[in-house]
Chains A and B, each alone.
Chain A
Amino acid sequence: MRRLAGAALLLLAASAARAELTLRSEVDAHKIGVQDKLQLTITVEGSGAPDEIPPPPLVNLDVVAGPFQSSQISIVNGRMSRSFTLSYVLQPRAVGKAEIGAVQAGGQSTAPIAIEVVAGAIRPKEPQRQDPFGRDPFGDPFEDVFGARRRTRSETLRVQMEAQPSRSRLHVGEPLVLTYWLYTQAAVADLQFKEAPQYAGFWVEDLEREKLSPSGEPATLEGQSYRRFPILRKLLFPTRAGTLTIPASVFRIGIQRTGFFDAGGSIERPTKPVTITVDSLPDAPGFSGAVGRFKATASLDRDTVPLGEAATLRFRVEGTGNLKWVDRAPELLVSGAKVFPPQSKSDLRTTENGVSGSRSWEFVVVPETSGAIEIKPMAFSYFDAGAGRIVSSETSPLTLKVEGGTAAAGAPAAPGLSAAARATGALPLRSELDFHASWTPGARLLTSLVALALVLHAGLWGLAARSGGSYRSGGAAPSRSVRAALRELERVAREPMTKEQAAALVEKALDEAVGGIKDADDSERARAIRALLDDVRFVRYAPQLGDYSEKVKDLAARAAEAVRRWA
């Protein structure tokens, strides 16, 4: 048994050594007519075949169709090899010489191919494809005898496909490697997707092609022994939390013929759906959204800069994770300088552990004052999945010396910290918690109270009017009315006028100053005013039997006294 294992290892080593890259460039004719077409076939074989082959330079030839691509994976006697073929259909431009230049791929090169182009068409017309026998001439001639069961060998072959995630639970933004494995007990001639895989809810990156082992590796699946080959690897980053499912992918697998009577054929094998549980990220202010492990650094392109010139500050984040998601740098605020929006640069590569490399942002800083300008540390926060928490990586503080101009003592306030903080270097915290328990009436209560006050005022006015307390009915008269009444009464005593005029003025002055007297009012004031008014009316309506001037003066004096006393 040990000898057998040793022999197998030697065989594998030998086959691996043979697995080298071969590049061929072939045409189906070296002499053609100007009306003919020429087929160019470029073939790459070996385990390190590149994905893309640049077209060769053409002289006197045009590409009229192609390139047509095909790839094959062959596993023969436990050895795996890949071939990649490109086909072009070319047509000459004119009679004469034509040339297909060297094809270069994978570090190898083919020789140029010379073509002779003659007038007209010299190649036979391609016959119409038809099957005169009604069957494939290279098919199984004994199919009619043994029936179609002979074709079903491929359907019973033990060939399986599996999509295997590197882990089934992770956080949003963490990387996951999804490997598609081919498990086979037979030689496989060709393998391709029938249905392209869908990765809803994931950011997908292609991993660099792994160096394939030509003979695969032994593996057991559902109790059966296979040789296993990695076919495809994808790096997936979940973009949302929850349970995400990668649906089944269907592969079409070509089975190689093993003999003259074996038709070979192709089979279809699906993978099983893969379910991934994705946990959400914690939320925190300033969190960049980066997941992985990173280190932030900052540097200036110069330490000293003349006033009026600019310096460049480079903020760089380096590490492994979902660095492609980080699309902006932390805000840079520099006291005494104007900072312009940054330009970003990336140097990233995809690995199994995520996207590695660095991203950097370059800020142009233009000092506005001279002196030493302090640039505060810049923080880059990311989620460290290993630690399960958000971690902040801070850069070192930087100092930019600005020469020339005026001193920077009057520089504007640093935007991040308050004036007190910049002066002392410490945060200006307040130490006593003042409880603001002062009561304030709400808008509704205030409106209600104002309305209530207005109602009460109106009520007081109404009450006074009802009880005869208005100014016109015995209440206090405005001082302006009193003064006017006294002036009228002085005029009555001073100026010559008829007794009717004088009496009318006195009555008017009394009415303006003390108002009307109600009949029910029996106060001293009412009685005095009523008596005075009786005398005034007597003088006014009495017949003119003599001189009333003294009487009028006496009434004016008594009225003035009443006004002063009762108004």
Chain B
Amino acid sequence: MLDAVRCIVGRDLLLALRRRTDIATALLFFVVVASLFPLGIGAEPNLLRAIAPGVIWVAALLSTMLSLARLFAADHADGTLEQLVLGAAPLGVVVAAKTLAHWLLSGLPLVLIAPVIALQYDLPQPLYGVLALSLLLGTPVLSMIGAIGAALTLGIRGGGVLLALLVLPLYVPVLIMGAGSVEMAAAGLDPGGQLLILGALLVFSAAFAPWAIAAALRISLE
């Protein structure tokens, strides 16, 4: 079973490495969106410091959502997905591995680049750790919930916009806890509570999301 996970994750990473622009686009989108807010709102440092956690988290949400469409689409188009569904490895494990690969390609880069955006927004440096930690705990949840939506909208016309409508309301708790933890730390309070809840959401979705993704995939592929 772990062999299957290793194999699928390795394959997805290798495929992404051969088409690097896909990852770069989502990451660039994140940076561009985050850079638009000061232009629209004004570059008042206090204001920017106040909105920074929210803006970074919303940008992370949107960027993750954009990259969801290609989670299953390419495999669906060339028939690989059907082979994976029919294969010996349990489908729940297969989709968990694919989601893990998606997070490594779209979530982890966000965690790494977020401090740079935080620098743009003049966020105090002690908060970088909390911001990175909240993204580290939260972005896998985004990938997992998003994968349910991606599996449900597989091969549907207008799937991209529909995916946003399905997935974004479900992202609300992660957004609140993620941005909340950074704001909490900015106010000089202990962000532990929010981070623990983010961790709980991560554990909860890691336990149940693969089932939902697998069920959704089976429905989409029949």
A and B interact: no
Taking Cβ atoms with an 8 Å cutoff, the residues of B that contact A are none
